[in-house]
Amino acid sequence: LSIRTLHWAMSSGDGVKEYGSPMFPHIEFVGWQDEASIQSFIDRIKDQLPDDESKQMIDTLIPPEAVSMLHKRLTGRFRPAVTAIEGIISTNDPNKWESIIDNTEAMLTSWKDKERRGNIIGEFMRVQTKMTKHPEQFTSCSSIEETLGLFLYRWYLLGETKFILEDEALLVEAALGRIKILSGDARVVIDEPIVLKSVQNYFKQKDPLFVAAAERAMLTSNNASVHGNMWETM
C-alpha cells in the first residue's frame, strides 16, 4: 500500500516484477463474525490438549459468559481476543476471565496506557504527529480527528457503529480502521468496539465539551437503538 491510498502500489520496490492473475492485492481477516467463531477458536485449543480433564478445565476457565463478553468487547481484528484468551488460560483461575478482558481492553483503548505498544490512542497520536511535521505530504488527506469526531457523533445520535470510507488509508496506519472488500472494492471500515472505546477515551481527554454535548444529545434522542448502544458501551 502507498501511504495515502488503498490502491496497490504495483511499482514499489526495485527490480522487475511479474504479476499474474492469482495475485490478490488485499488479504482480509474477516473478523470474529459471532460468538461461535470465538468458541471455535477455543475448541481448537482444546483439541491440542492431551486429556479430557485438561479440556474441561478450559471450559471452566472460559465459560459461555466469557465468550459472549469477548465477542462484545474485543471483536474485530484477530489479536485482541486471542490475547485475552491466552491471558485467561494462563491464570488457571475460573474467576479471572472478566478482569483479564477488562485489562486487555484497557491496554488497547485507555488514555493512561497510550504510551504502551499497541494502544490505539497512541497509534492515532503518532500518525497525527507525522501529519503535523510533514503537512506537504498529506495535502489530500482529511483530518483524522474530524473523521473520528463524525464517527463518534453518528454513534451518539444515530446508534451507528459502522463507518465506511472510500479512501482513508491513514486510518489503517493509525490502527483505527480495517480494509474490507465491499462489492469488489477496497474500503476502510471503522466498526470495532475497541476503536469506538478508544475514540471515546481520546475525546474525553482532548475535547470533553464535545463529548458532553454529544451525550446530552444522545439522552434526548427518540431513537431506541441509540439508548441501547449507550447503556451497552458507556
Looking up cell 488460560, which residue turns up?
Answer: 89
Distance (Å, whole) CA 176 – CA 48: 34
Domain boundaries, the chain: 35-109, 120-233
The residue among 200 and 178 whose pLDDT is bigger is 200
pLDDT greater than 70 at residue 61: yes
Q: What order do you get walking across the sheet with 163-165 strand by strand?
A: 163-165, 185-190, 178-182
Please tell me the predicted confidence (pLDDT) of residue 23: 44
DSSP secondary structure of 15-51 = S-----TT--S--------SHHHHHHHHHHHHHTSSS
The residue among 14 and 28 whose pLDDT is bigger is 28
Please tell me the predicted confidence (pLDDT) of residue 129: 87
Please tell me the predicted confidence (pLDDT) of residue 224: 58
pLDDT in tens, 88-128: 999 999 999 999 999 999 999 999 999 998 899 999 999 88
Lowest mean pLDDT among 8-12, 174-178, 223-227: 8-12
pLDDT in tens, 138-163: 665 567 888 888 888 888 777 788 88
pLDDT in tens, 65-96: 999 999 999 988 889 999 999 999 999 999 99
> Mean pLDDT, the chain, as a whole number?
80
The residue among 65 and 33 whose pLDDT is bigger is 65
Cα 152 to the center of its chain, rounded Å: 14
